[in-house]
Structure 1
Amino acid sequence: MIRNYLKIAWRNLIKNKGITTINTIGLSLGIGCFILIALFVTDELSFDQFHKKADHIYRINSDILFGGTEIHMAVSSDPMGATLKKDYPEVEEYTRIYASEGSRLIRKGTELIEEFSVAYVDSTFFNVFTFPALKGNPKTALQDPNTIVISEKAAIKYFGSVDQAMGEILEVNSNGKTLFKVTAVIKDMPKNSHFHLDFLISMANVNYDFGNYLSHNFHTYIVLKEGTDYKEFTTNFKEVVAKYLLPQMSQYMEVKSMEDIEASGNKIEYSLVPLKDIHLHSSQSIELSANGSIKYVYIFSAVALFILLIACTNFMNLTTARSSGRAKEVGIRKVLGTEKKSLIFQFLSESTLVVVIAHSIAILFVFISLDWFNNIAGKEISIKALLQPQFLIFLILLPFVVGPLAGIYPAFFLSKFQPITVLKGNLAKGMNKNTLRNFLVIFQFTTSIVLIIGTIVVYQQLKHIQTTDVGFNKDQVLIVENSNLPDETRKSLKSEITQLTEIKSASFAGYIPVSKSARSDTTFSTEIVATAENGFNMQYWRADYEYIETMGMEIMAGRNFSRSFGTDSTAIILNEKAVALTGFKNPIGKKLYKSMENNEKTIYTIIGVVKNFNFESLRQDVGPLSLRLGDNSWRTAYRFNTTDVEGFISKIQKKYEAASPEISFTYSFLDDSFLNMYRQEKRIGTIALIFTVLAVIIAALGLFGLATYIAEQRTKEIGIRKVLGASTTIIVKILSKDFIKLIVFAFLIATPIAWWFMSSWLRDFAFRIQLNWWVFALTGIITLLIAVLTLSFQTIKAAITNPINSLKTE
């Protein structure tokens, strides 16, 4: 029986090649897009799931509000983990990652290679996280100083193989040379980990003032015993703050209790974030790597579902549009005794067969486009992901879900024809009304309009980011990493390169105004006795005499640092936000006090005010910041002016390589570093654009199907109107009028939906565009043009048909 259904279905598909082709193309695109987005979403949801203790691992976050400055960090103090384990039996284990010292130069033969995936970790690291070892015992590998665990990739890169790496010595350079013994080699950390490290160095080698509860520089993870409610456990942090932080705070300022601090509008809070939630739900500063966003998972999941539904809607419209060709078949089969359920099964078999064919093409489409999609999405999804048991089951079941979904309405629609009515030729009475199909077309174009508006807004915001005044000049600034050069070499190189005609200015710029650069948050007070009322936090950057000029910043009041003033060693320059926190109406010459241990103070004199500049992403407001005279020569910034950028870079590279031939020359441009902060938004915008175009194409196919159906239904009417003298233009208008109404109705529904979604998305940015009316108007015009172009072929074809032929068909 089933074989017979499939044979009949195949013959009908072959008979109507045009409609079958359009159906197959639409479904293939819809299913292909659905699978690609499903791979993307599955990958995003899989982060950190592979750890054996993943359900019990939590990271400690810090949320501090002091003196009007609010900071949310993914780090905590160095003793926090040990304190929690000591005081609370619910804590089974803890470990820390210290990655604040940036990149390291690692020797390979005569060459020093800069590596960025380097961090110090506790010996308990592998008691918490699951990273399988290829050689050695990682649980004991980092107990001693001068030991290092490396990844498989690093072992092959530096020693040729995993076996040869074990027990060898690795030279790591940072302000001096240190030799480390390779005590274990682990598999490369999975791509779906929220951090990726190739070199794990014993925490015993960190040069740090340990024991300071007020200094937050360590990513700290704890393992809670099974059955512990982590939200309830979070309440213990109040006790930790009162017991450990408060005594240390009293050494820096006059404070008696946490109630005093909170009464002044300040707070010091800690929270736990589940390991599995970090990638999609954490947006703290100082993350170990760029995280995703659960918002985009929701958005793309909805887009995937909508595109699939649009494709299924196309099938319904195109199938019912060809209903007149199947009406007599249904009538004859009913007269011959075929039951309604058999007809339904027959039509469902046809739709499932089309979907199976489309599904096969879609998988081929995914296979061909996956590398391209990975490049756009910043992913490394392998085609093997399709063969994972869970995803494979999903792929197998998909056509048998989509097939009935796409075919259920046409099956019931066609099987409901009354045989006597259709055999008499009066098909209209044997058919249902067009309400459902109209609704489906409205749904298609509502979705398409929302996607078009969303894509335009995303690109507008990205353009706004690129063109907005961020308070410094990010163009034509070369950043050279030189943290591992001897101090005298750095200074001589800077002096020599400054003589080049292309150079306008040069500065030692360890602190640069983009995320992931060096940061230093410090407490100041406006009075010599610091209290919760007069104290505040702000960024505290070291800068040389040329820093402000090189970064293209603007002095609003006072002056820059100058070699003519010997007192500038205790001078400080504030940004406008910091001045507002001090409350000084005329800040020049006023004193600020930096708290030291045992209530000792360093006194700074304000000599200048620099215009606010965005030193973090435009998602955040400008925070308070200070500049003091100091050395931060691990990075040099060169402001240049030349059109021959490659030649200019080549000149500088030669000078650096001549000064230190074994160290690789590493550089970047400040404007590129700035745009990298918005790499995720750019990727999302590109993905949205691609799927929007595909959704519009699929929706246009659906509109073509409805136009075909309406033209067939109104063949006799068209013939009569032409006989009575109606022109082609009038007939085209008559046939298009109903479609235009549907598009306008879809636009009216889509506009508030798109406004709400994009307003919500824009709220993530402190500096954002306004949603302009013309975006919605332009989208409406674009949608109407697409609809008119889609309709033109079918309506003009119907309008120019010989009326004699039209009347004969009826």
Structure 2
Amino acid sequence: MFKNYIKIAWRSLKKQPFFTFLNTFGLAIGMAGALLISLYIYDEMSYDKMFADANRIHRIHADIKFGGDAREFAVTPAPMAEALKNDFSEIELVTRFRTRGSALVRKADDQANVKEEQTTFVDASFFEMFGLELLAGDVKTALKNPNTLVLTKTAAEKHFEIGNAVGQNLVLNNEETYTVVGVIDDFPQNSFLRDHSVFESMEGNGDAKEINWGSNNYQTFIKLIPTVNAADIQEQLRGFLGKYVIPGVQQYMPGITEEQLKKSGSYLVYSTMPLTDIHLKSHRVAEISANNDIQSIYILSFIAVFLIVLASVNFMNLSTAHSLKRAKEVGVRKTL
């Protein structure tokens, strides 16, 4: 009986090839379109979830309004990291990035430079923060000394064999000599570090040691201990204005107080955002990489659902209309 059904179905399809093509092709296009959109949405929603303990990692933000100009920053002052370590027992780790943009890189004994699009200073806690392992080098000592750097696998292969990279010297921008202390695997495309290839030790960045709360240049990430929620530290984080920022500003503007700042309509508010929300929900000044918008994900989700519904309704309508022509066949088959 099953073989008979297949035979009759095949004959019916051959009998009306245009209808068969129209119905099948319409449903296939709708399903294919919805599937492709779903894969794109899945990729966008998966950003930065590959890092260990990603749900406990947050970035510190600064919302600033001064002199009528309100801006939202993804960066904070250099001393923010040390203050977080000292003031919060709820924080397990702190690490900073200071992006430098592109750089010309060459071996110490070569003349030809290779351009790396994204380089950045990072603290030595960078590896533990994101649960990263080195392909070459010792992760426990990497980036703890000034004028050292870690390369991604692709960047290292431009100059050395992976096994011989550690201990070699590289010259950046024809003036700064660094020693390679490690090689790290390339970051996936759904990571905020996807374009970065050279990570330099923050110990060699003198600005990182300055106690200047008026300059915002550092992406500051924290990892909370497992039992703590980000909401638990927000109130104390807002208190950094009066505790650290105002005393620093008073060196240049004697007499200014937190109350005067509020009366003038100005403000400075520090807050946190989960690492996994940054790609779709953060559009601040000095983002470490280009982000997308959650609104575009909502729109694409609606389009995918609409395609499926439209293709399904079209398939059912055509099938229903075609079924009327087979009423005599159905009657004969039932009689037999």
TM class by smaller structure = over 0.9
Alignment: residue pair count: 332
* Higher normalized strand content (fraction of residues): 2
Q: How does 1:364-763 map to 2 (within 5 A)?
A: none
Using the TM superposition, give the Cα deviation of residue 152 of structure 1 relative to its aligned residue in structure 2, in angstroms.
0.4
Task: Quickly say closer, same or farther: Cα 1:11–1:199, change in 2 above 3 A.
Answer: same
Q: What amino acid is the match of 1:218?
A: Y
Task: Report the equivalent of 1:398.
Answer: none
Using the TM superposition, give the Cα deviation of residue 77 of structure 1 relative to its aligned residue in structure 2, in angstroms.
0.7
Task: Quickly say closer, same or farther: Cα 1:96–1:262, change in 2 above 3 A.
Answer: same
| Offset from partner CA, 1:230-267 (integer Å, 9 cap, x none) | 12321111222211111111112244532221121111
Task: Report the equivalent of 1:111.
Answer: 112
- 8 Å CA contact retained: 1:280, 1:291: yes
Task: Quickly say closer, same or farther: Cα 1:279–1:4, change in 2 above 3 A.
Answer: farther
| Offset from partner CA, 1:522-563 (integer Å, 9 cap, x none) | xxxxxxxxxxxxxxxxxxxxxxxxxxxxxxxxxxxxxxxxxx
Q: How does 1:121-132 map to 2 (within 5 A)?
A: 121-132=122-133
SS in 1 for 2:189: coil
- 8 Å CA contact retained: 2:238, 2:271: no
Using the TM superposition, give the Cα deviation of residue 130 of structure 1 relative to its aligned residue in structure 2, in angstroms.
3.1
Alignment equivalent of 2:186, drawn from 180, 185, 188: 188
Which TM-score applies when normalising by structure 2?
A: 0.93
**Residues 119-128 or 243-252, more deviating:** 243-252
Using the TM superposition, give the Cα deviation of residue 218 of structure 1 relative to its aligned residue in structure 2, in angstroms.
0.2
Which of structures 1 and 2 has the larger relative contact order (alpha carbons within 8 angstroms, sep 6+)? 2
Give the Cα separation in 2 of the matches to 1:139 and 1:13.
67
Using the TM superposition, give the Cα deviation of residue 29 of structure 1 relative to its aligned residue in structure 2, in angstroms.
1.4
Task: Quickly say closer, same or farther: Cα 1:155–1:38, change in 2 above 3 A.
Answer: same
Task: Report the equivalent of 1:650.
Answer: none
Give the Cα separation in 1 of the matches to 2:75 and 2:5.
64
Give the Cα separation in 2 of the matches to 1:331 and 1:73.
73
Which TM-score applies when normalising by structure 1?
A: 0.40
Alignment gaps of 5+ in structure 1: 337-810
SS in 1 for 2:276: helix
Give the Cα separation in 2 of the matches to 1:56 and 1:78.
22
**Residues 278-287 or 246-255, more deviating:** 246-255
Task: Report the equivalent of 2:213.
Answer: 213
Give the Cα separation in 2 of the matches to 1:23 and 1:215.
63
Q: Identity percentage over the alignment?
A: 40
Task: Report the equivalent of 2:198.
Answer: 199
| Offset from partner CA, 1:672-728 (integer Å, 9 cap, x none) | xxxxxxxxxxxxxxxxxxxxxxxxxxxxxxxxxxxxxxxxxxxxxxxxxxxxxxxxx
Task: Report the equivalent of 1:311.
Answer: 311
Q: How does 1:154-169 map to 2 (within 5 A)?
A: 154-159=155-160, 161-169=161-169
- 8 Å CA contact retained: 1:64, 1:71: yes
SS in 2 for 1:304: helix
SS in 2 for 1:103: strand
Task: Report the equivalent of 2:66.
Answer: 66
Give the Cα separation in 1 of the matches to 2:46 and 2:330.
49
Task: Report the equivalent of 2:46.
Answer: 46
| Offset from partner CA, 1:139-166 (integer Å, 9 cap, x none) | 421111111100100111111x211212
Task: Report the equivalent of 1:526.
Answer: none
Give the Cα separation in 1 of the matches to 2:326 and 2:131.
61
SS in 1 for 2:141: helix
Task: Report the equivalent of 1:769.
Answer: none
- 8 Å CA contact retained: 1:169, 1:179: yes
SS in 2 for 1:116: strand
Q: What amino acid is the match of 1:26?
A: G
Please tell me whether Structure 1 or Structure 2 has the larger radius of gyration of its CA atoms. 1
Using the TM superposition, give the Cα deviation of residue 10 of structure 1 relative to its aligned residue in structure 2, in angstroms.
3.3
Give the Cα separation in 2 of the matches to 1:130 and 1:29.
42
Give the Cα separation in 1 of the matches to 2:87 and 2:21.
69
- 8 Å CA contact retained: 1:138, 1:149: no
Using the TM superposition, give the Cα deviation of residue 223 of structure 1 relative to its aligned residue in structure 2, in angstroms.
0.2
Task: Quickly say closer, same or farther: Cα 1:54–1:3, change in 2 above 3 A.
Answer: farther
Give the Cα separation in 2 of the matches to 1:272 and 1:171.
36
Q: Is 1:24 matched with 2:15?
A: no
Using the TM superposition, give the Cα deviation of residue 39 of structure 1 relative to its aligned residue in structure 2, in angstroms.
1.6
Give the Cα separation in 2 of the matches to 1:14 and 1:279.
50
Using the TM superposition, give the Cα deviation of residue 2 of structure 1 relative to its aligned residue in structure 2, in angstroms.
5.5
Q: What amino acid is the match of 1:188?
A: D
SS in 2 for 1:322: helix
Give the Cα separation in 2 of the matches to 1:215 and 1:297.
34
| Offset from partner CA, 1:19-62 (integer Å, 9 cap, x none) | 11111211221122112111211111111010011000000111
Q: What amino acid is the match of 2:187?
A: M
Give the Cα separation in 2 of the matches to 1:139 and 1:30.
52
SS in 2 for 1:216: coil
